[in-house]
Structure 1
Amino acid sequence: MPTAPDASRYLIAPDPSAPRLTRVVRGVDHAGQPQEISVVEERPLTIFLNAQEIVTAMTIGDYPEYLALGFLRNQAMLAPDDVVTGVEYDEDLEVVVVRTARQTSHEDKLKKKTRTSGCAVGTVFGDMMEGLEGLTLPQARLRSSWLYALSAQINTTPSLYLEAGAIHGTVLCEEDRPLVYMEDVGRHNAVDKIAGWMLQEGVSGADKILYTTGRLTSEMVIKTAHMGIPVLASRSGFTAWGVEIARQVGLTLIGRMRGKRFVCLSGEERITWDADPDAVPDEPRKSRRKGAEA
Structure 2
Amino acid sequence: MKKLINDPSRVVDESVEGFGLAHADLVAVHTDPIFVSRAGGARQGKVGLVSGGGSGHEPLHAGFVGLGMLDAAVPGAMFTSPTPDAIAPATVAANGGAGVLHIVKNYTGDVLNFETAAELADADGIEVRSVIVNDDVAVEDSLYTAGRRGVAGTVAVEKIAGAAAERGDDLAAVTAIAERVNANVRSMGVALSACTVPHAGVPSFELTEAEIEIGIGIHGEPGRRRIPMAPADEITEMLTTPVIEDLGIGGSDQVLLLVNGMGGTPLSELYVVYRTARRILEGRGATVARSLVGNYVTSLEMQGCSVTVLRLDDELTTLWDAPVHTAALRW
Q: Same fold (TM over 0.5)?
A: no
TM-score by length of 1: 0.31
TM-score by length of 2: 0.28
